[in-house]
Amino acid sequence: MAPGSATASGPAVWTEALGGLSAGTLSGRARPNEGMTTMRRSTLTTAGAALAVLLGATACTGTTGGTDDAEGGADGGPVTLRYLVEEQEDAEALELLQGRMDEFEAANEGITVDLQSAPLDSMRSVLQTQLRSGEGPDVFRWGSGPTFGGALAEAGLLLDLTDAYEENGWEVYEFAKEQVTIDGKVYGIPGEMETIGVFYNKDVFDNLGIAEPTTLEELDQAAAEAQDAGFVPFAVSDQEGWQGGHLLSMALSSRIGSERVNALLAGEESWTSPDVVAALQQWADWQAAGYLTEFPTSINYDSGTALFLSGEAAMIPNGSWFVDAIVVDADFEAGYIPFPTEGGSGIFTGGLGSGPFVSAQTEHPEEAIALLDFLASEEHGRWVVENMQLIPSFPVDTEGLDVTPLFAQVLEDTEQLASGEGDFGVNIDVVAGDELNQAMYDGVQALFTGQSTPQQVAESLDEASQA
């Protein structure tokens, strides 16, 4: 681990308290993003053709190695599984994952894993088409929740894993399992738990004499002082669009809490609410004050994160998946806070990231399920915590693991919130439908380009929610 690593703090095992949470506590009671969304966010700069090359490498799912592989399987000899993941924040992460696949192969003679990666934007464009044609991967990581894995399940493109859960005893938290359950059938292993908040450069804050912000007023003042000192106060990117969903989600969730955000999603409140307008207005005001990256819609995710990692930006709104990139690429310590409110520290927005699913057309379902069994094991969960700085969606004993101080904080915060001691905000784009998400992405971009006011964006959200 990096210098200055610390032993994981907080409860050693996330068990009954966490497993008993409702879906609303971590990802919104209505429910991806990302989560995707969420998920550790991928680089989004490669064209969709890159994934087409990956997925179209063979004419049939799971047959990357020629005739022998095509005829292989539980009864027919060696098998090659194609496992597709999103591009990682850093190249080392993919190398680490490849090492884990080597360990899986050593424990499962006759199975080879062909690990491939592609930009998330490319996967969005062609994954469903490739799965329909039978040219897609055997196993792939995709967002938990109805608009991601749920949409593929409803299209008949995912293998039903209900029996596999029982046969293998996968102990996934119930609230997380609900996010990969469609019509009573379970279709995947939920992705890692994620939070979204604001990272800040501790060195910059210390040198400027800025204390960790605990209110919105203090955060605003920190931005002003960072600007006066020549720093970009907030490294905000929104070229891809989904980042705007995070900006609204964190500001709105802290302002009104998860219960009312879920009321908006359920149609029980109007998106023209003054609180929605105020959450949008906050980002518009900061842009007008020059606190954001200039022209956010022209800055992609990689460029935005580079501003923070290089020390040019004092803060960045991002998710817990970003911790690993900070550990690898930054030469300063970072702090991580929830988006604050006028009267207090606010709450972290939460959700689930990408998790593994199996193609309904795989020729090697038994081997694919064996890979999922490996990925759902506590041993792999401990490895994920220690090496990938991610939080699995199933119980993991973290005692004795070496993690960085920043990730130790993320673990502790998540454990406290998950144990019922607080609220998690809602990452809107992982629980909302396509119409609302598109209106949100387009609306925040229009806000940044001056084409729409906060009130107009709120009206477009309300209209989309009724579509």
More confident residue, 4 or 461: 461
The DSSP letter of residue 320 is G
420-447: pLDDT as tens digits: 566 889 999 888 888 999 999 999 999 9
The region of weakest confidence among 16-25, 69-78, 117-126 is 16-25
d(CA 336, CA 201): 9
The CATH number fitting domain 195-351+424-465, selected from 2.40.10.120, 3.40.1280.10, 2.40.37.10, 3.40.190.10: 3.40.190.10
CATH for 12-193+352-407 is 3.40.190.10
pTM for the model stands at 0.74
Helix (H) or strand (E) holding 447: helix 434-448
pLDDT digits (tens, 9 = 90+) for 108-163: 999 999 999 998 878 888 898 999 998 899 999 998 877 789 889 999 999 999 99
The pLDDT value given to residue 411 = 82
Share of the chain above pLDDT 70, in %: 81
Instruction: Work out the mean pLDDT of the chain and round it to a whole number.
Output: 84
**For residue 268, what pLDDT is reported?**
96
Residue 122: predicted pLDDT = 83
Measured over the CA atoms of residue 185, residue 119, residue 313 and residue 233, the dihedral's sign is negative
Q: Where are the domains of the chain?
A: 12-193+352-407, 195-351+424-465
- For 12-78, the DSSP string reads SB--HHHHT--HHHHH-TT--B--BTTSSPPP--S-HHHHHHHHTTSSSTT-TT-HHHHH-BTTTB-
Q: Give mean pLDDT, residues 57-71.
A: 38
> Do the domains at 12-193+352-407 and 195-351+424-465 have one common CATH topology?
yes
CA separation for the pair 15, 82 (Å, rounded): 33
